[in-house]
Amino acid sequence: MNLAVGQATGIPTRETLLERARAIAPDLAKERTAANERRDIAPEVIARIDRAGLFNILKPRAFGGYEMDPRVFHEIQNIFAEHCMSTAWVYGVLSIQVFILALLDPRAQRDIWGDGGETVLACSSFFPKGKVEVVPGGYRVTGQWPFASGSSFCRWATIGSHVPSPDPDAPPIWKLFIVPAEDYTLVDTWRTFGLRATGSNDVRVDGAFVPEHRTWDIAPGLMVAPDNGGPPLYRLPWLYMFTSCISNLSIGAGRGAIRAFSQSRRDQPQRPGAFGVDSAPLAVARATAEIEAADLMIRTHVGLMLDHVAAGTSMSEADGLLYRTQLCGVLRRITAVVDELMLLTGGRGIDDEGPLTRTWLDLCAARHHPGNSPESNELTVGAQLMAEM
């Protein structure tokens, strides 16, 4: 199944959107050093992405979006990642947050997007932190939430916390709260060795009231959701979609690393290694194979899930766990092959402006995100497989 790729009136085609992304991408590389120094993306970069309509790919048509196949979003994120991984990260997180907002009560969507005439972005920090008090009509929320990537450009924040379950014997409910910018402040905390330009600062909320309709009980998000009569796009597993925005970009980053490495070898040929064999072609071949396999895997996952959506069939929990486990391992595997290239750059490869330095550091930072850690899923999948044998 392919969701809309541009057939509807007023919706650009996939090819048009990719062309727009390619037109922006070279400037990202030129801006990258300055962005890292300011620890944030330039407002003009975000404005160009907005003018190109690229934040609309996963947005509901009811609010001016395109409601497109997510694989178009993945392609665009990788175009950006080839040139600047921080920009690709911010673009990915803010775009997937649009997808998450589309799961909310329609009243909340209207609060955020109004008539859909302009782009309104939301940052997020799902960590269950802070203090929540149940009050008439909603909740009173207080606390500080970390890692709100792209928060400089947002008018809303989605933050997570635990609230008591109505059942005293049940565990607390993990809930999301949607807060407007006038009810929170940004705290400058983002000082890192990688992904420096993502502006992933803290969000602080001091006793803001959040109405019930602007909250969402976090669902497991591993499998295709039941048909509720809404747009089919939003039946895709939200947890897979969210994880994809922080793992998929390693594909583009890896491609950019191969290009930069190959160019550096042409400019400064190296002597063969042990036994007279130049190990660079072997490393490039291994890296290319890993990167393109990851791209094919994610495309296949999304296609299979969309097939379930189209057929109205259920997706097994086993498949949901397997897909997420595979997805969570993508960034680490690609980081490993880029690390192999990094070791072959020679002594000057460790310079701040070395051909792979920034991409390598960004990948190393990205693998710290819990969404790029497959171990918890591997334990569950492994235990199930062993039980079936």
Tens-digit pLDDT profile for residues 89-148 = 999 999 999 999 999 999 999 999 998 888 999 999 999 999 999 999 999 999 999 999
**For the purposes of burial, counting CB atoms within 10 Å of the CB of 118, is it exposed (0-12), middle (13-18) or buried (19 or more)?**
exposed
Q: Which amino acid is at 332?
A: R
Q: What is the structure's pLDDT at 307? A: 97
Confirm whether 122-217 and 232-388 share one CATH topology. no
CA 351, CA 353: separation in Å to the nearest integer?
A: 5
Instruction: Report whether pLDDT(183) > 70.
Output: yes
The pTM of the whole model exceeds 0.85:
yes
- Assign a CATH topology to domain 232-388: Butyryl-CoA Dehydrogenase, subunit A; domain 3 (1.20.140)
**CA 299 → CA 86, 258, 320, distances in Å?**
23, 21, 15
- Assign a CATH topology to domain 14-113: Butyryl-Coa Dehydrogenase, subunit A; domain 1 (1.10.540)
Q: 122-217 — its CATH code?
A: 2.40.110.10
Confidence of residue 274 (pLDDT cuts 50, 70, 90): very low
Instruction: Report whether pLDDT(383) > 90.
Output: no
Question: Tokens in use for 37?
Answer: 């120094």
CA 3, CA 7: separation in Å to the nearest integer?
A: 10
**Residue 277 neighbours by CB distance under 10 Å:** 10
Residue-range domain boundaries for the chain:
14-113, 122-217, 232-388
Question: Tokens in use for 167?
Answer: 């059942």
Confidence of residue 151 (pLDDT cuts 50, 70, 90): very high
Give 170's Cβ-side CA count (13 Å radius): 9
Average of per-residue pLDDT values in the chain: 93
Confidence of residue 381 (pLDDT cuts 50, 70, 90): confident
Confidence of residue 319 (pLDDT cuts 50, 70, 90): very high
Kindly report, residue by residue over 202-258, the tens digit of the pLDDT: 999 999 999 999 999 998 899 999 998 899 999 999 999 999 999 999 999 999 999
Question: How many residues are present in the chain?
Answer: 389
Q: What is the structure's pLDDT at 7? A: 52
CA 259, CA 14: separation in Å to the nearest integer?
A: 25
**Considering only CA atoms, which of 332, 311, 335 is closest in space to residue 377?**
332
Q: Which amino acid is at 175?
A: K
Q: What is the structure's pLDDT at 276? A: 45
Q: What is the structure's pLDDT at 294? A: 98
Phi, psi of 342 (to 5 degrees): -60, -40
Q: What is the structure's pLDDT at 166? A: 86
225-232's contacts with Cβ under 8 Å and 24+ in sequence apart are 227/312, 231/60, 231/61, 231/67, 231/102, 232/1, 232/3, 232/306, 232/309, 232/310
What is the DSSP track for 64-90? T---B-HHHHHHHHHHHHTT-HHHHHH
* Torsion sign over Cα 256, 201, 199, 213: positive
CA 157, CA 101: separation in Å to the nearest integer?
A: 11
**For the purposes of burial, counting CB atoms within 10 Å of the CB of 92, is it exposed (0-12), middle (13-18) or buried (19 or more)?**
buried
Q: What is the structure's pLDDT at 272? A: 52
Instruction: Report whether pLDDT(1) > 70.
Output: no
Q: Which amino acid is at 170?
A: A
Which residue spans within the chain are E strands per DSSP?
Answer: 122-128, 131-135, 138-148, 156-163, 173-180, 184-187, 201-211, 215-217
Give 112's Cβ-side CA count (13 Å radius): 34
Residues 49-57: what's their mean pLDDT? 98
Q: What is the structure's pLDDT at 126? A: 95
Confidence of residue 287 (pLDDT cuts 50, 70, 90): very high
